Amino acid sequence: MKSSFRLMTIAKIPIEINITWFIILGLIVFTLGQGFFPYTNPGLSTATYWLMALVAALLLFASLLAHELAHSLVAQKNDLPIHGITLFIFGGVAHMDKEPPSPKVEFKMAIAGPLMSFFLSAIFYILSRLLHLLGLTGPLTSIAEYLFLINLIIGIFNLIPGFPLDGGRVLRAILWHYSKDIKKATAIASNIGKAFAFVLIAFGLLNLFSGQIISGIWFIFIGFFLLEAADVSYRQVVMKKILYGLKVGKYITKDVISVSSNITLDKLVDDYFFRFRHGAFPVVDDDSVRGIVTLHDIKEVEKNKWSTTTAKDIMLPLKKDYVINEQTDAMDALAQIARNHVGRLLVIEDGKLDGILTQRDIMKLFEFKAEIEG
């Protein structure tokens, strides 16, 4: 199942929402409609509280999006392509294949998000004051006050100096600037991120034991999330450092087993998938590559139709996403595999299939290199 879906495109950046966001949206609406707004505006109808909660939650969503867009636009301005933004749990992720080219760019990119949140916070503060001055102390003012507060919290939370939070990136940029060593800078920044995650988890447990179940679970949850993120992003940096500049030509598998487009699925399964145990095969007719046939797509076809269905019927037609050449950078190749969802790339030279490179190949190469070169 797809866990994210496209919402819109802004400045050529596709905006996606992760399904976890709906759970959080529900949780936020519930917390606001049940607790926060009845507390700040006593005496209103239940329907009004839910409506206020929904409006506030959607504006919170827009605020988070603005935060991520601020990062992305600065990145784009510095020639770092952004493939998309995915909004999930308590923020978003801008998808970027490359590390920022310099500490300066990283610093500007990282600080842009929190600055946007502080800016929004200020706007909503001014708005709530204006509404007050006009004598309007009803729902609208409360929503504005909530957004002032929540944007302030988002800005501050993200400035916590643990990688991969924005503050951690700012810290990394500073360490990187002085040490000239991005790996070392990332190691320090992500260790601080982990330490902070442990503090959150401990704080959550403390809450839990003192009877504050919901907030306890929240803190523990966010703590574990950060712990994982610190690990993953450190690994990514090490990987980028090791794989960047490595041309794939030397590491591809040359003797590729391909299938023809008119082979039936039962034959394909018996003679290829069971025999060679690869997850996919290139489809080639008369030396020209047609596409890729994957085990996953075969499983979509009912078994009793396997003898009448051919590879051509179910193959993924060849497209740019599946193709590299020998000169492709290993890190770029890895990013491309992550995007194309078939776990491998076809190396095509002069129109002919020259080799194949799987995600596993690159990961293995990385592990060996890391082992030997540190």
Q: Is 167 in the site for Zn ion (CB under 5 A)?
A: no
User: Considering beta carbons, is residue 63 or 128 the nearer one to Zn ion?
Assistant: 63
Alpha helices in the chain (DSSP H): 20-31, 37-40, 46-77, 103-133, 139-158, 166-179, 182-209, 213-243, 265-267, 274-276, 295-299, 311-314, 330-340, 359-373
Is the Cβ of residue 139 or residue 164 nearer to Zn ion in the bound state? 164
Residue 33 or residue 113: which is nearer to Zn ion going by CB? Answer: 113
Cβ(53)–Cβ(29) under 8 Å? yes
Question: Is there a contact between 224 and 201 (Cβ–Cβ < 8 Å)?
Answer: yes
68, 48 in Cβ contact below 8 A? no
Q: Which is nearer to Zn ion, 117 or 328 (CB)?
A: 117
CB of 67 to Zn ion, least distance (A): 5
Between 115 and 263, name the residue whose CB sits nearer to Zn ion.
115
Q: Contact 366/242 with Cβ under 8 angstroms?
A: yes
Cα distance between residue 200 and residue 203, in whole Å: 5
CB-closest chain residue to Zn ion? 113
Total number of residues that touch Zn ion (CB under 5 A): 3
Residue 245 CA to residue 249 CA, distance in Å, equals 12
Q: Which two tokens stand for residue 247?
A: 């041309």
Interface residue with Zn ion, options 16, 166, 329, 361 (CB under 5 A) = 166
d(CA 314, CA 331): 30
| Residue type (1 letter), 275 | R
Stretch that binds Zn ion, among 124-132, 133-141, 154-162, 298-306 (CB under 5 A): 154-162
Query: How many angstroms separate the CA atoms of 240 and 100, rounded?
Result: 11
Choose one: 98-106, 136-144, 150-158, 227-235; the region binding Zn ion (CB under 5 A): 150-158
Cβ 334 vs Cβ 364: under 8 Å = no
Handedness of CA 67, 73, 76, 82 (dihedral sign): positive
Closest distance of CB 306 from Zn ion, Å = 49
Q: Minimal distance in Å, beta carbon 148 to Zn ion?
A: 19
Min dist CB 113 to Zn ion, Å, is: 3
- Least distance CB 7 / Zn ion (angstroms): 18
Q: How far apart are CA 162 and CA 64, in angstroms?
A: 19
* Nearest residue (CB) to Zn ion, 71 versus 194: 71
Task: Using the minimum distance from each CB to Zn ion, give the nearer residue, 99 or 166.
Answer: 166
DSSP state of 365: H
Q: Which of 304, 256, 305 is nearest to 276 (CA)?
A: 256
CB of 52 to Zn ion, least distance (A): 27
Q: How far is the CB of 166 from Zn ion (least distance, A)?
A: 4
Binding mask of the shown chain, residues 62 to 101, with x at each position contacting Zn ion by CB under 5 A: ----------------------------------------
Q: Which is nearer to Zn ion, 145 or 166 (CB)?
A: 166
3-state SS, residue 321: helix
The site string for Zn ion over 169-198 (x = CB under 5 A, - otherwise) reads: ------------------------------
Quick one: tokens of 8? Answer: 């819109």
Choose one: 21-29, 43-51, 94-102, 153-161; the region binding Zn ion (CB under 5 A).
153-161
**311 Cβ partners below 8 Å, 6+ apart?**
259, 260, 261, 262, 263, 264, 265, 268, 283, 293
What three-state secondary structure class fits 94?
A: strand
Tell me how far, at minimum, the Cβ of 27 lies from Zn ion, in Å. Answer: 21
Least CB distance to Zn ion at residue 106 (A): 12
Binding mask 96-125 for Zn ion (x = CB under 5 A): -----------------x------------
Rg (CA), the chain: 25
Which residue lies nearer to Zn ion by CB, 72 or 158?
158
- Pattern 313-332, binding to Zn ion, x per CB under 5 A? --------------------
CB of 179 to Zn ion, least distance (A): 24
Site for Zn ion, rule CB under 5 A = 113, 158, 166
